[in-house]
């Protein structure tokens, strides 16, 4: 993507800022972020960058931003990413995780904005605990939390606007993304960001459960590759894609890995599993591969790159 005008909501957060930094040298990038989890310091300084501190639930702000810009691409990454937070505050998180999507879609429809693509970030959460693995895009959908329902509803609404109103759109279902600038400071931050923080600060790590729960951990650079492919492919129009690696890793694997490959010992405490925690979440990525996706990182190379950056 070059010489385009791009909006990234949640652009100061982990995935959003990584995407913005990749696009900034050759594009104009507007970032909206409420800084609840993100930080503008994640963004490289550039004359191509416009930073807006504000919420995607603020319709007046959205109207103003769209009045002032003709965006080519919109990456809607702003969300309350904590599933537990959605359980504690279902109405508030619904406004961020669903209403904001509709608000942007409505502006695009009503103002007859001509865009190249709207990309919505959905989640593996939509599959819930239905045990069939690996997850395919057509697998059974069983959202179990307000977060998962909002992600699925947003995703579907995006497809409806694509089909009925010809707003060109695609969606991603992220599995467990990790890498530099993922904020470790919430208990519901990504496990790997917490692990790296504990390794750095020599503090104990708590594993909820026996550590045999497995995830599909995907390195941020591969996620950026996926986002750009999905945004620019003709085939991906009106489609939703799993974004992962297809590789299963348990939390215990991660602990063993950091000790044997990196020589870093972390003091691990085991505690009761978290309520509603999913045991296994692994993606099938054949659909994404059909549009050219080729993940470059396994756990070893991804963790090495992440730790080189951190230490």
Residues in touch with ligand UD2 (CB under 6 A): 81, 83, 123-125, 176-177, 188-191, 194, 206-208, 213, 215, 251, 274, 277-278, 281
CA gap 155, 167 in Å, rounded: 13
Q: How many whole angstroms separate alpha carbon 6 and alpha carbon 29?
A: 5
**Min separation Cβ 106 and ligand UD2, Å:** 25
Nearest approach, Cβ of 8 to ligand UD2 (angstroms)?
A: 18
Nearer to ligand UD2, 115 or 133 (CB): 133
CB of 199 to ligand UD2, least distance (A): 13
CB 175 within 8 A of CB 283: yes
Judged by beta carbon, residue 109 or residue 274, the one nearer ligand UD2 is: 274
Cα dist from 286 to 174, 206, 229, whole Å: 14, 34, 14
Q: Where are the alpha helices (DSSP H) in 69-99?
A: 83-88, 90-94
Beta-sheet strands, E only, within the chain: 5-9, 28-33, 49-53, 73-76, 117-123, 169-174, 176-178, 205-208, 214-215, 217-219, 240-243, 249-250, 268-271
Residue 208 or 257 having the CB closest to ligand UD2: 208
> Which one is catalytic: 147, 241, 293, 306?
147
- Of the pair 27, 182, the CB lying nearest ligand UD2 is at 182
Rounded CA-CA distance 307/19 in Å is: 20
DSSP state of 23: H
Task: Choose between 74 and 214: whose C-beta lies nearer to ligand UD2.
Answer: 214
- Candidates 74, 158, 155; CA nearest to 116 is 74
Degrees to nearest 5, angle at CA 309 with 311 and 249: 95
Instruction: Name the minimum Å distance from CB 176 to ligand UD2.
Output: 5
To the nearest 10°, report the CA torsion of 7, 8, 12, 13. 180
The least CB distance from residue 244 to ligand UD2, in Å, is: 11
Smallest gap, in angstroms, from Cβ of residue 26 to ligand UD2?
29
- Indicate if the alpha-carbon torsion angle 153, 154, 157, 158 is positive or negative: negative
Instruction: Give the residue with the Cβ less far from ligand UD2, 24 or 299.
Output: 299
Question: Is 147 designated active site?
Answer: yes
Residue whose CB is nearest to ligand UD2 in the complex, by number: 125
Active-site annotation, residues: 147
């Amino acid at each position: 993507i070059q010489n385009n005008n791009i909006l990234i909501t949640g652009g100061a957060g982990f995935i959003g800022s990584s995407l913005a930094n990749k696009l900034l040298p050759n594009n104009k990038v507007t970032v909206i972020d409420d800084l609840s989890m993100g930080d503008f310091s994640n963004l490289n300084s550039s004359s191509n960058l416009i930073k807006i501190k504000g919420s995607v639930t603020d319709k007046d702000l959205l109207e103003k931003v769209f009045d002032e810009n003709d965006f080519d691409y919109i990456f809607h990454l702003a969300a309350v990413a904590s599933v537990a937070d959605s359980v504690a505050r279902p109405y508030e998180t619904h406004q961020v995780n669903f209403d904001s999507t509709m608000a942007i879609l409505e502006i695009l429809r009503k103002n007859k904005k001509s865009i190249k693509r709207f990309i919505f970030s959905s989640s593996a959460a939509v599959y819930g605990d239905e045990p069939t693995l690996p997850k395919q895009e057509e697998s059974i959908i069983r959202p179990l939390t307000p977060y998962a329902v909002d992600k699925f509803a947003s995703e579907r609404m995006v497809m409806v606007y694509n089909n009925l109103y010809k707003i060109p759109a695609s969606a991603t279902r992220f599995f467990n993304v990790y890498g530099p600038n993922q904020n470790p400071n919430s208990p519901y931050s990504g496990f790997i960001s917490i692990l790296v923080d504990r390794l750095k600060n020599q503090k104990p790590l708590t594993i909820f459960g026996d550590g045999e729960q497995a995830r599909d951990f995907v390195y941020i650079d591969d996620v950026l590759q996926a986002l750009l492919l999905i945004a620019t492919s003709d085939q991906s129009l009106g489609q939703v894609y799993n974004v992962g690696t297809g590789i299963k890793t348990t939390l215990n694997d991660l602990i063993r890995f950091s000790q044997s490959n990196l020589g870093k010992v972390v003091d691990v405490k085991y505690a009761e599993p978290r309520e509603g925690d999913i045991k296994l979440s692994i993606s099938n990525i054949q659909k994404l591969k059909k549009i050219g996706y080729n993940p470059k990182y396994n756990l070893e190379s991804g963790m090495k790159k992440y730790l080189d950056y951190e230490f």
